[in-house]
Amino acid sequence: MAFPSDFLFGTATSAFQIEGAWNEDGKGPSIWDTFGHTPGKVYRDVPADVAADHYHRYREDIALLRELGVGSYRFSMSWPRILPEGTGRVNRAGLDFYRRLVDELLEAGISPLATLYHWDLPQALEDRGGWANRDIALWFRDYAALVFEEFAGLVPRWATLNEPISMWVGYGMGTFAPGHADPRLGKQAMHNALLAHGEAVRAFRERDAPGAEIGIVVDIWKRHPATDNPADQALADRDEDDSFRFFFNPLLKGAYGERIVERLTPEGTMPDVLDGDLELIASPVDFLGLNVYSRVVVSAENDNPIWWESDSNRLGGNFLDNGLEFYPRAAYDAIRLVRDEYGWQGPVYITENGTADADDADPIDDQERIRYVRGFLEWIERAVREGANVRGYYLWSLLDNYEWNAGFSKRYGIVHVDPDTLKRTPKASFAWYRDVISRRGVA
Ligand code: IFM
């Protein structure tokens, strides 16, 4: 396995999952702060008030990145840290934090990839309807324009949204913040998220950003029918339409497509799409970020809307100790999918890939993570060798962090974070990944 010399290796994190300092230095509350402080919503009712305390320890964390030898680091900015009410008043201390972070990364020779939105919506905006309110596209545009100006010439690569399917989980299903379980609202929130993305891309293009790039991050969990029974194939199509195809169709083809429109319209869940929306959403991007963890094998006999939390949904084979199916070919399939089915020829980054430690795993000697990442890198390298335009790989995650409604129960880091002392200890996968990066492949 040998990656090209300009292939970027990195790690990824997100603001809410690692920063902590949830109400410090003028930060406003996010929907996940509210959710975490509401009994019964997150694992053991423990909110992310401190998380991995990255807000105070970012220098130590960047020193770890330096030791690892990464060429890039993907992180997200917290909208409510920068704009406590979501619009209007700017919190200078919030911008300054990201300024210090970016300066420190550049100083270490690490190229920042900044995500504008990784799920931590300002609560003040949720109080005005949040992602279900179409106005959010303009609120997001103004936030994006502010940070583009602030970081012009410093951040070479931006992602607008991380995994917009989170809008469905938060507004359609209610298991994520802000906790609405209304399918119509969920689909409208997904559409509005795409509008917000389009507005941010336009705002980016209006500014002089020589060499800088903008894209979006979508997670691909390909659905494979359990049998060749037409009901299983129909379910696979439906689930893909409800997830990544709902985003890629308008982003890359300029339309939701007949299959989606014809199913959602009679269900009453087709979002309101106004004149100009589809053109806005299809504003050209510079790269696609793909988050790939595995695939889902679907069976009409075992149709569970929360398949990722369901023990009964164990179709497929070769499961990791944590219950996830080990299917490293998923990365290769995702890369091929955007090229072959959507005609995407531009750069692709694997913006997330990783796995959680099993509950009873050794906290430091994480051999399963090594096996998992190695498998994925092998398939990615194969895609690159066959000519795919894949430019980088970000391992999720640098640190053990706060896994949303699963709280601290799922640990994805290549660096262990002691939940009490917050002490960082590199795991076996850290040394292994460092070796991969320095060899640009696996021996
Ligand atoms: O932790 C999450 C991340 O925030 C989004 N992608 C999947 C990761 C692991 O579940």
Handedness of CA 141, 145, 151, 153 (dihedral sign): positive
Per-residue pLDDT of 9-41, as tens digits, reads 999 999 999 999 999 999 999 999 999 999 999
Among 57-61, 136-140, 245-249, 310-314, name the one with the lowest average pLDDT.
310-314
For ligand 1, pick from 43, 307, 396, 412 the residue to mutate: most ligand atoms within 8 Å of CB: 396
Q: What are phi and psi of 426, to 5 degrees?
A: -60, 140
| Partners of 417 in the β-ladder | 424
Q: Is 352 in the pocket of ligand 1 (CB under 6 A)?
A: yes
Between the CA of residue 390 and those of 335, 336, 343, 364, what are the distances in Å?
8, 11, 14, 31
Average pLDDT, the chain: 97
Identity of residue 351: T
Residue of 279, 394, 387 lying closest to 340 (CA atoms)? 387
Higher pLDDT pick, 209 / 92: 92
pLDDT single digits (tens) 199-223? 999 999 999 778 999 999 999 999 9
How far apart are the C-alpha atoms of 171 and 131, rounded to whole Å? 8
Q: Residue 129, class by beta-carbon neighbours within 10 Å (0-12 exposed, 13-18 middle, 19+ buried)?
A: middle
Which pLDDT band, with edges at 50, 70 and 90, does 306 fall under?
Answer: confident
What pLDDT band is residue 443 in, cutting at 50, 70 and 90?
Answer: confident
The answer on pLDDT for 313 being more than 90 is no
Q: CB-based contacts of 426: which residues, under 8 Å, 6+ apart?
A: 64, 67, 414, 415, 416
Is residue 19 among the annotated active site residues?
A: no
The atom of ligand 1 lying closest to the CA of 166 is 5
DSSP output for 207-227: S--TT-EEEEEEE---EEESS
Residue 307 has pLDDT above 80, yes or no: no
190, HSE (Cβ side, Cα atoms, 13 Å): 29
How far is Cα 334 from Cα 327, in angstroms, rounded to an integer?
A: 12
Catalytic residue (choose from 19, 213, 325, 352): 352
For residue 314, is pLDDT > 80?
A: no
Over 60: is that where the pLDDT of 77 sits? yes
What is the sign of the dihedral through the CA atoms of 243, 249, 250 and 251? positive
Evaluate if residue 170 carries a pLDDT over 70.
yes
Distance CA 349, CA 158 (A): 12
**pLDDT tens-place string over residues 327-339:** 999 999 999 999 9
| Cα-to-centroid distance, 101 and ligand 1 (Å) | 21
The pLDDT value recorded for residue 308 is 76
The pLDDT assigned to 38 comes to 98
For residue 326, pLDDT over 70 is answered with yes
CB of 14 sitting under 6 A from ligand 1: yes
Determine the residue of 19, 412, 414 to mutate for testing ligand 1's pocket, defined as the one with the most ligand atoms within 8 A of the Cβ atom.
Answer: 412
What local confidence, expressed as pLDDT, does residue 304 receive?
A: 78
Q: What is the pLDDT averaged over residues 162-178?
A: 98
Of the candidates 77, 58, 75, the one whose C-alpha atom is nearest the C-alpha of residue 150 is: 77
**Spatial separation of the C-alpha atoms in residues 396 and 398, rounded to whole Å:** 6
Q: Taking residues 215-241, what's their average pLDDT? A: 97
292 strand-pairing partners: none
Cis peptide before 178 (omega within 30 of 0): yes
Say if residue 89 is exposed, middle or buried (CB neighbours under 10 Å; 0-12, 13-18, 19+).
exposed
For the segment 249-254, the average pLDDT, to the nearest whole number, is 98
Q: Give the amino acid at 109.
A: G
Q: pTM of the full predicted structure? A: 0.98
Do the Cβ atoms of 306 and 173 come closer than 8 Å?
Answer: yes
Q: What is the pLDDT of residue 311?
A: 60
Shortest-distance Cα residue to atom 9 of ligand 1: 403
Instruction: For ligand 1, pick from 14, 219, 405 the residue to mutate: most ligand atoms within 8 Å of CB.
Output: 14
- Among this protein's residues, is 352 annotated catalytic? yes
Q: How long a stretch of residues is the chain?
A: 443
* Consecutive H or E run containing 125: helix 123-126
Q: What is the pLDDT of residue 312?
A: 52
Mean pLDDT within 436-440: 97
Q: For residue 442, what pLDDT is reported? A: 86
Q: Which residue, by CA, sits nearest to atom 2 of ligand 1?
A: 403
What topology is assigned to 8-439 in CATH? TIM Barrel (3.20.20)
pLDDT at residue 51 tops 70: yes
- Asked if the model's pLDDT at residue 305 lies above 80, the reply is no
Catalytic residue among 19, 104, 126, 163: 163
Average pLDDT over residues 64-81: 99
Ligand 1 atom showing the smallest separation from residue 403 Cα: 1
User: Residue 302 pLDDT > 80, yes or no?
Assistant: yes
